[in-house]
Structure 1
Amino acid sequence: MAAILAFLSVVAAWIVLYFDSFPALIRRWNNDDYSYCWIVVPLALYLAWQRRDMLPRILIPSLKSGYGALLAVAFFYLIGKAASVDALVFVSMWLSIVAVVLFIFGLKSMKALFFPLVVLAFFIPPPPFINRMLTFKLRLISSDLSVRIMQFIDIPVYREGNVIDLGMIKLHVVDACSGLRYVFPTILLGILMGYWFNKKPWQRFVVFAATVPTAIATNALRIAIVGYIARNISVETADNFFHEASGIIIYLLSISFLVMLSLVLNLFGSDEPVKRVQASSLYRKDRPNSTIHVTVTALFLAGIFMFNGTLLSARVIPERMSFDNFPMNIGKYTGERQYFSDEILESLGADDYFTGVYQNKITGRNILVLASYYNFQEPQRAAHNPVSCLLGGGGWGLSSSKDLPPDPEDGRPFRVRSLLLEKPGSRLLALYWFQQRGRIITNEYLNKAYLALDSIQKHRTDGALIRIELLLKDGETVQHGQQVLNSFIGNFSVILDKYIPK
């Protein structure tokens, strides 16, 4: 009875601690890129049940490892909350389950439960910017490989970034139809195939290592097939195949290849069965001391919840001027304010924002400005790297990303981050920076570190993200575009300082 009460108490404490993180996790799972996460938990439970006969006869709690895992839970949870990184909160969620397993089953049980726990870790969706940047790089490789395949079979083709020009049709290999959104589920599938079909560790590693190259190669083949269809059948058929049926077909092809690879690798291994430690029924094992440590785990999780609540109650929200009266005339520029839809505002999560287009009275050049301000930042409502937003639609591809040092001669007195995005016929130059609690930062990771530090020391997490954009003219150099933006920023930043507390 005591063991049941201890287990129920830790489950209740776990739910209370992570209750406000569940909606964010569910939203991520509902995203097409992470929908595979829905099957991870039942899959991990099935694997654990399948390996139950490998548990040792006597289950001795592992105290050092268990409490070490609990300390890691507190670290990742509090840092994740303070730095507004929900991925770290999700990691702490997984570690808390590991800690309970160590207290109930012990370290020796990891021979049976290690693999299910590894699979369970896939319930954590990768941070969006990591997924976006990874798939961006992979799709460039895939596009280049597809062009080489088409050139090999004598199909005239030209590639510019992630755009494949076949003459009669142009293929924009963007995230949504790149086929590379299947990378993470393919990795998970490769791990499972190695476990189910292969017996040697080196065989399982080969199958795992083949997952990403397989996703790239099959996607390149898909694009090459589109080129062949466009040239020999019709452009309409090729376009329909590219945007509708090909993604699933290529995923099934990837699965088929990995299955064949796994089976072929078995030809080079022995047929000896996997030895497993036999054990009698789990319910007849001794569990010395596990009840008290599971209870301590429940109290520890409750303590983390209360400590985080104390930090939130001490949070300081400084007074500031609203963007409602932000000037529309800045130097040589006259602005027109714009407003976001409710859907975009919900995604932005800002407490106050300003966006508008400023036009130079003399040259007619337009500069787009976006300033989003947060009274306090937390996971799902924090200033973040705008790269993922800029690459999220419109067919833009990232050509360069670099820091620019202060340029007082042109009017910009601080460092900014420069992004050059391109698509056929257009180039966009964007400068951005994080302006938070008296600092101007261009590195997202450094910004998160200061966010966590100031949350503890100053009890403040307020701040803003500023983004300035300019469409470059035909033949205009990037350096000239930067000079145009620098001149605007010189006057704009002086006014902006009044609206963002230091």
Structure 2
Amino acid sequence: MAAIFSFISVFAAWIVLYLNSFPSLLRRWNTDDYSYCWIVVPLALYIAWQRRDMLPKILTPSVKSGYVALLVVAVLFFIGKAGSVDALVFVSMWLSIVVIVLFVFGLKSMKAFFFPLAILAFFIPPPPFINRMLTFKLRLISSDLSVRIMQLIDIPVYREGNVIDLGMIKLHVVDACSGLRYVFPTILLGILIGYWFNKRPWQRFIIFVTTIPIAIITNALRIAIVGYIARNISVETAHNFFHEASGIIIYLLSISFLVLLSLILNLFGAKESIKRVESYSSLNRNNGSNSVVHVIVMAVFFAGMFMFNESLVSARVIPDRMSFNNFPLSIGSYAGERQYFDNKIIESLGADDYFTAVYRNKNSGRAILVLISYYNFQEPQRAAHNPISCLLGGDGWGLSSSKDLPADLKDGRAFRVRSLLLEKPGSRLLALYWFQQRGRIITNEYLNKVYLALDSIKKNRTDGALIRVELLLKDGETVQHGQQILNSFIGNFSIILNKYIPN
């Protein structure tokens, strides 16, 4: 009875502690990139049940390691909340389950639980910035390989930047390589296939390291098939295959490749006998009372974490500021025209106030796009973030360079900014951005998160903004000349910001 009470207590406290994090987690799970996360928990439970015979006969709670891990849970949770990094909150969620295993089954049980816990970690969606950067590099490799395959079978095609030109149709790398959203589920599948069908560690390792090459190759085949259909059947059929069926077909092809590789590897190693140990039913439960005490302490600790986090939220300071409704549309020699986002974009932006406008130079006619997103307070899934995750791949743009630019007083910009140069066939876009938060101007996203966490504790403030200005470069125009234009604009523009973004 005491064991049931302790389990219910820690489960209820765990739910309450992470209740505000579930919506953002499930929202990510409901996207195409992370829909595989829905099957991760059942898979981990099934594998844990399969390995129950590997548990030691006598269970001894690991008190020291359990409480150390519990402390790490709290650190990750509060840093994630204070720094608006939901990935850290999700990691703390996973680690809290590891703590329960340590308190109930002990460290020796990790021989049985290590693998299912590793599989369970796949329920954590990678941060969007990391995912976008990783898959974009893989997209470029995959698109180049697809062009080589089509040229090999005499299909006229060439790739220029982010566009694959098949003559009849053109595919942007981002759209054409959307099959690479299966990279993470393919990695998960490779690990499972190696576990279920291969006994030797070196076999499992080979299957694991080939998952990404297989994802790249199968996606390249997908694009090549689209080219073949467009040339030999019809463009309409190619479009239908491209948008409706190709993703699932390619994933099934990846599965086939992994299973085939597993079977081939088994030919090079004799099957090992599986050693069986005492069954779960024979476990000694004499130490159950000790586990109950530690699990109840864990429940109380979670309740304390929740109350402390709520006290931080209730003490949050939101400084007074002017709304962007009154932001000037005449800045120096530029006249602006304000633009407005639709509700879907506003929801994804998560900002409390925003300003976007196109400013045109009255003399040259050059247009500069300005975007400011402001947050009264920041929290996971509702914070200023690196704009690369929005710009990269959008509308076919690819990142050519990214670097910090020091202050340039000569051209009028008195602070450091981050420069992004994006390109696609026939177009180049220069973007400068910076985080303006609580009196600081920061260009590094990770440093921004550090200050966000520190200020949330020391000042009870997490307000701040992301400012981005963009300029389309003309044919033959140098990046340096574009930077001079933006620097001159920023010199006049930044002076106005202090009224709208509190220091």
Name the SS of the counterpart of 2:477 in structure 1: coil
Match of 1:308 in 2: 309
Looking at structure 2, the residues matched to 318 and 356 of structure 1 have their Cα atoms a distance apart, in angstroms, of 25
Distance across 1 between alignment mates of 2:465 and 2:74: 28
C-alpha displacement at 1:177, in angstroms?
5.0
Q: CA deviation at 1:237?
A: 2.9
TM-score for both structures, normalised by structure 2: 0.97
1:345 is matched with which residue? 346
Work out whether residues 172 and 395 of structure 1, in 8 Å CA contact, stay in contact via their aligned partners in 2.
yes
The gaps in structure 2 that reach 5 residues or longer are: none
Instruction: Show the 5 A alignment for 1:114-153.
Output: 114-153=114-153
**Contact 2:177-2:219 within 8 A present in 1 as well:** no
Distance in 1 (CA, whole Å) between partners of 2:348 and 2:250 is 31
How far, CA to CA, are the matches of 1:339 and 1:152 in structure 2? Answer: 48
Distance 1:169 1:353 in 2: 37
Moved more, 142-151 or 85-94: 142-151
Q: CA deviation at 1:480?
A: 1.5
What's the CA shift for 1:235? 3.1
Equivalence for 2:322: 321
2:490 counterpart of 1:489 = yes
Report the counterpart of residue 266 of structure 1 in structure 2: 266
The one-letter code sitting in structure 2 at the alignment partner of 1:460 is: R
Letter in 1 for 2:346: L
Task: For 1:82 and 1:443, locate their aligned partners in 2 and report how far apart those are by CA, in whole Å.
Answer: 17
Q: Which residue of structure 2 lines up, in the alignment, with residue 226 of structure 1?
A: 226
Partner-residue secondary structure (3-state), 2:412: coil
Whether the aligned pair in 2 keeps the contact of 1:34 and 1:125 (CA below 8 Å) is: yes
Return closer, same or farther for 1:29/1:280 CA change in 2, 3 Å cut-off. closer
CA contact (8 A) 1:104 1:287 kept: no
Q: Deviations over 1:60-86 (max 9, x none)?
A: 101121111101100110000000011
Change in 2 beyond 3 A, CA 1:279/1:481: same
**Deviation by residue 1:264-319 (Cα, 9 ceiling, x = unmatched):** 11111222222132235067533341111111111111111122122222222111
Aligned to 1:166: 166
- d(CA) in 2 for partners of 1:153, 1:346: 46
Aligned 8 A contact 2:158 2:166 in 1: yes
Q: Which runs of 5+ in 1 are unaligned?
A: none
Tell me the residue number matched to 1:194. Answer: 194
Q: What is the one-letter code of the residue matched to 2:386?
A: N
TM-superposed deviation, 1:54: 1.2
State the AA in 1 paired with 2:260.
Answer: M
Q: Does 1:372 find its partner at 2:373? A: yes
1:223 Cα deviation after fit: 1.7
Q: Structure 1 residues 27, 246: CA separation in 2 closer, same or farther (over 3 Å shift)?
A: same
TM-score by length of 1: 0.97
Indicate the residue corresponding to 2:449 in structure 1: 448
Shift of 1:2: 1.2
Partner of 1:183: 183
SS of equivalent residue, structure 1 residue 398: strand
Name the SS of the counterpart of 1:150 in structure 2.
helix
Which residue of structure 2 aligns with residue 93 of structure 1? 93
Going from structure 1 to structure 2, the CA distance change for 1:118 and 1:280 (only over 3 Å counts) comes to closer
RMSD over aligned CA atoms reads 1.5
Residue 291 (structure 1) aligned with residue 295 (structure 2): no
Q: Report if aligned partners of 1:139, 1:162 keep a CA contact under 8 Å in 2.
A: no
SS of equivalent to 1:434? strand
CA distance in structure 1 between the partners assigned to 2:211 and 2:310 by the alignment: 43
- The one-character-per-residue Cα deviations of 1:151-200 (angstroms, maximum 9, x if unpaired) are 33333322122311223322212157521000000010001001100001
In 2, distance between residues paired with 1:454 and 1:386?
A: 22
Match of 1:399 in 2: 400
Contact 1:368–1:468 at 8 Å: present in 2 too?
A: yes
Corresponding position of 2:358: 357
Contact 1:177 1:243 in 2 (8 A): no
Residue 216 of structure 1: aligned partner: 216
Deviations 1:18-62 (A, max 9, x none): 011111111111111100001111111111111111111111101
1:355 maps to a residue whose letter is T
- 396-405 vs 11-20, greater mean Cα deviation: 396-405
Q: Which amino acid aligns with 1:322?
A: S
CA distance in 1, matches of 2:247, 2:9: 45
Change (3 A) 1:176 1:36: farther
Superposed displacement of residue 218, structure 1: 1.2
> Which residue of the partner structure matches residue 244 of structure 1?
244
- Return 72-81 or 418-427, whichever deviates more: 418-427
Equivalent residue letter for 2:41: V
Q: Is the 8 A contact 2:374 2:464 kept in 1?
A: yes
Alignment CA distance shift 1:159-1:46 (3 Å): same
Which residue in 2 is equivalent to 1:279? Answer: 279
Q: Tell me which residue corresponds to 1:468.
A: 469
Contact 2:176 2:223 in 1 (8 A): no
Q: Aligned to 1:225, what secondary structure does the other structure show?
A: helix
Secondary structure at the residue paired with 2:154? coil
